[in-house]
Amino acid sequence: MELRTLRYFVAVAEELHFGRAATRLHMSQPPLSRAIKQLETEVGALLFARSTTGVTLTAVGTVLLDEARALLDHADRVRVRVSAAAGAAVITVGILGDSTDPGVVRLAAAYRRNHPGVDIRIRDADLTDPTCGLRAGLVDVALTRAPFDETALTVRELRTDPVGVVLRADDPLAHRDGLRLADLRDRRWFQFPQGTDSLWQSYWNGGRPREGPVVRAVQECLQAVLWNGTIGLAPLGHDLPAEFTVVPLTDMEPSRVVVACNEGDTNPLIRSFIETATAAYRH
């Protein structure tokens, strides 16, 4: 199995839709579909159950998803270590969130302008690791959201965003101008896998234990809302399909956009990234 094909598979598995996965991978849908069919031939089993509305993972696909994520994480770790040994001018940035955020766009333009010879590599993290691979040694710096365990990390706040609850458009609460956490006490909420940072889990559960399906990616969250009426929190200002609504939460602490690196890191490229990020988000 090629790593590229496994990345294609993970994208489809997380989006549960070939069209959205193709957009995320910056490719057209036909070659993506062909790559997945070839992978199914190699495996000798169907990985997805296909329908007119999207796809769902088969039992075999679920097993492969866990293994593919672990293999790709290992491959990323190897690349980081080899680059460090070679002394190459490379910086690996972990990103958790919307790459269309104006702050990210300004940051990317400014950093490229300041460091035209640097190879900037991006690792798009899922919702289970708020450090985007920083603690695992997969990235040099993380552009993410707090709160999470900041032990041995340097964390700088860039911006705060109000938070709302994601609902299906036909949900009885969807037409309210605002909600409080108490209004949602009897609802099922998203959960992250066991072992996820406890501060992160608590924040996105409104500060108390909840029950609900386990998710790893934004699209899994949205599918849980669509199919099961599950609810979850999200920063306001993100565009969602028409079948979803985000209602502001009036008693929820805002979400903090932060940049983080390992404590004591003296790499000038990383220090420059942090300073550039601070300026980019100030506008």
CATH number of the domain within which 63 lies: 1.10.10.10
170 and 240 share a domain? Answer: yes
Question: In 3-state terms, what secondary structure has residue 206?
Answer: coil
181 and 228 share a domain? Answer: yes
Examine residue 101 and state whether it is found in any structural domain, yes or no. Answer: yes
**Token pair in block for residue 264:** 């004591």
The answer, yes or no, to whether residue 250 has pLDDT greater than 80, is yes
**Token pair in block for residue 266:** 């003296």
Examine residue 74 and state whether it is found in any structural domain, yes or no. Answer: no
Strand partners, 259: 143, 156
**Residue-level pLDDT at 88:** 61
d(CA 126, CA 133): 10
- Say how far residue 250 (Cα) sits from the centre of its chain: 25
**Residue-level pLDDT at 217:** 87
115 and 230 share a domain? Answer: no
Examine residue 130 and state whether it is found in any structural domain, yes or no. Answer: yes
Question: In 3-state terms, what secondary structure has residue 69?
Answer: helix
102 and 231 share a domain? Answer: no
93 and 217 share a domain? Answer: no
d(CA 160, CA 43): 45
* Eight-class DSSP state of 110: H
d(CA 33, CA 31): 5
Phi-psi region of 57 (alpha: psi -120 to 50; beta: other; left: phi over 0): beta
Q: What pTM did the predictor assign?
A: 0.72
Assess contact for 57 and 66: CB atoms under 8 A.
no
Longest dimension (CA), the chain: 58
Query: 167-208: per-residue pLDDT in tens?
Result: 999 999 999 999 999 999 999 999 999 889 999 999 999 999
**Residue-level pLDDT at 85:** 65
Mean pLDDT, to the nearest integer, of 142-164? 95
Domain range enclosing 156: 89-160+256-282
Q: In the chain, what percentage of residues exceed pLDDT 90?
A: 63
28 and 97 share a domain? Answer: no
Domains identified in the chain, total number:
3
**Residue-level pLDDT at 120:** 92
Residues 6 or more apart in contact with residue 7 via CB below 8 angstroms = 25, 72
**Residue-level pLDDT at 74:** 84
133 and 247 share a domain? Answer: no
**Residue-level pLDDT at 97:** 67
148 and 269 share a domain? Answer: yes
CATH number of the domain within which 268 lies: 3.40.190.10
Query: 62-107: per-residue pLDDT in tens?
Result: 999 999 988 988 887 776 666 656 666 889 999 986 656 888 999 9
272 and 211 share a domain? Answer: no
54 and 134 share a domain? Answer: no
**Residue-level pLDDT at 99:** 59
168 and 237 share a domain? Answer: yes
**Residue-level pLDDT at 101:** 82
